[in-house]
Structure formats: structure tokens, C-alpha cells
Amino acid sequence: MSEKKAAAGLQGIVAGQSAISTVGVGGIGLNYRGYDINDLAYKCSFEEVTYLLLKGNLPTQQQLDELKTFIWQKRQIPCKLKQILETLPKESHPMDIMRTVASIVGILEPETKPGQEYEICIRLISLFGPALLYWYHYSNSGIKINENTGKDSIAENFLKLYHLKSEIDPLVIRTFDVSLILYAEHDFAASTFAARVTVSTLSDFYSGITTAIGTLRGPLHGGANEAAMQYLEPLKSISQADQFLNSRYQSKQLIMGFGHRVYKKEDPRSPIIKDFSLQLSKTTNGDPTLLAVSQHIEKRMIEEKKIYPNLDFYSASAYKQCGVPTPMFTAIFVISRMTGWGGHLIEQRSNNKLMRPVSEYTGPAKKQFVPIEMRNKANL
């Protein structure tokens, strides 16, 4: 038996060094490359944050304009990928579509030389939304969408393609854009760490991203916003919300969208997305009942359990009011977190060492081997 004791879930274990973000330092806070998340969310676009995470600095106007043009140029869906998307069943989960897109693009446009990471990141950030929505519209109605809406932002392009409209409410676009900023990076979260492990073996960039998508799919990570909306949507009154909470308390089930491994109290991203969700609830197409129920659940969870909402809780109501279907919530997370994943994979490669932790053995002591002819049910 090893003298070292395992940390469940690697909690508290320092697994490497990174210059990309600080998360929960002192139990609070979130910074991307030194910039406070509040400044980035309220004063920047997702494209600016993309440049920051991948390049290390906020862009000048010229650099931002060049990035927007590059994104526009990289939106085109390869014909072979379209053919594959047309064969995938409409019952597929959007996260499975995202994983497939990453794998297929890795085959069609493989990483063949050093220094391609930035281009691959922008390609996937630009392509994921249009590819997902090409599959969605084709599988549901047979429509083959034109994926390029001009030099629109990532947020505006996604919303126009989903709603098949040329004009989208500016508040909806801004809410979507802010959500992308908030989901963009979070240190060694499970998907990021998994991706870094993959590329630490000197595997290709696409394999790292595919690993990350698979990890993000789980409800304890990226899928939490979907899980939160699944229980929020049927609740049409405060009394129904109370019944739901009381039932969960009694059965000791998790309330998805609450609590965080890192933040001791409030997730600093939560009040930001809550602000935008509240703004949407006051518009013509908003859902004030959904917000009232959400706020009631938040109040009870804080008062009775001392557990605060994380980003996923109010992201659920924000996305719902943007008109996005619940199964797409985590897929949107992929588009956003590509920036953080990309920054981490570039960083991992810059000073690589194979990640190979050890385990604490809990199996039986050394056994005497018994030949097959001498074995019986008693010693099996």
C-alpha cells in the first residue's frame, strides 16, 4: 500500500502551471490573463476575449478587425462534412454532433506541421456553430442552410442561422455574446485537463479537442446547464418550485446549477448572466415566470443550504429566452470553451511533459497463483 493518500477527484492537487486564468483565488474571483471577468463581460466582445486567450493580450482595433475577417473566412463547411451531417439521425445529441465535427475536420484538414494551433482554433470556433445548425435544420426539415451570414460575430451568426432570420434583437445577441465570454475559460476544469493530458502524449490538436468535448458532455461539467433547464422548464409557479425543492431535499438529490468545486461562495460569473437573463425577462419575448421561479429557488438554496448558483443556473434561463433549445446548451459551451482549450493546448505544447499520475492501490494483497485444474468455486 502506498504511503501517499489519494485526493478524491484530484481536489486541491496542483497538476501543472498556467498563465491563462486564475479561478477562485482566495475562494473568489475569475481573471483571464489578468483581466477581471466583469470587465471582460461588460466591456468586451467574445472575439476580443478569443484573441486574449489564444494570443495573450487584448487586441488592437486592427488585430480585432483581422480576427473578425479570419473568422468569416473560416465558416465554410466542407462539402464532405455536409454529406456526413446529412446522414446523422435527428435524434443525435448535439454534443455528439460537435464531437463528430471535430473528428471529421481533423481528417479533412489534418494538423501537419508546427504552428498550426491558432488557425485550427479559429477554424473550429468559426465552424462549430454553422455545422451544428446545418445538421439541425437538415435533419428536422430538410433545409440546407447557407452557413455564412457575412462578417457577423460568432453570437450573431449562430442566432441568425438557428432562427433563420436576418435580424435578431440586439439584447439577445449581447446576452449570447456575454455567455460565450463567461464560458470561455476556467483553468484546469475537467475538459481542459483531459485535453492537456491527451496532447501531452504528443497526440494531434484535434484529438485533444475531441477528448475535451467528450469530457464536457457530462452533467457534472458542461451538461449542467441542460440539466438545470430540464427541471426548471416544467415549474410554472412558486408552489411548484417549492414542491420540487422539498422533494429533492427529501431524496438528497443534487440541484443542478448550484455549488462549485472551486468557489466557496458565489460564482463570480453567476450575477453577470443573471443580470442579462433578468433584462431578457422584461422584454416582449421574455419569460418572467421562469425568472421568478429561478430567483425563488436561488433564495431558498442560499438561505437553507448555504449553496450558491453557479454559471449554469442562470445560463439556462438566459439561453431559453434567446430561443435556443435546451439540448444545444452544452454545444454552445463547446464553441465558447474552444478558446480556453486552445490556449491551454498551445501552453501545454510550449513546455510539454507527459502527464502520468499514480493511483493509490486498494485491491487485494498479493495472491498465490492457482492452476486452472486446481481451482473450484471456493477460491474463485
Amino acid at 29: G
Find residue 31's DSSP bridge partners: 22, 36
Q: CB count, 10 Å around CB of 358?
A: 8
**30-32 and 35-36 as β-strands: parallel, antiparallel, unpaired?**
antiparallel
Residue 205's region, left for phi above 0, alpha for psi from -120 to 50, else beta, is alpha
Q: Annotated catalytic residue: which of 152, 177, 267, 312?
A: 312
Tell me whether residue 93 is one of the annotated catalytic residues: no
Handedness of CA 74, 80, 81, 85 (dihedral sign): positive
Q: Annotated catalytic residue: which of 221, 242, 275, 287?
A: 221
CB 133 within 8 A of CB 57: no
Tell me whether residue 163 is one of the annotated catalytic residues: no
DSSP string across 187-252: SS-HHHHHHHHHHHTT--HHHHHHHHHHHHTSTTTTTHHHHHHHHHTT--SHHHHHHHHHHHHHHT
Residue whose C-alpha cell is 502527464: 355
What the block records as the C-alpha cell of 342 is: 486552445
Nearest to 181 by CA among 21, 348, 327, 309: 21
DSSP string across 92-119: S-HHHHHHHHHHHHHHHS---STT-HHH
Find residue 35's DSSP bridge partners: 32
What is the side-by-side strand order in the sheet with 30-32? 21-23, 30-32, 35-36
Tell me whether residue 296 is one of the annotated catalytic residues: no
Q: Annotated catalytic residue: which of 152, 177, 186, 260?
A: 260
Residues with catalytic annotation? 221, 260, 312
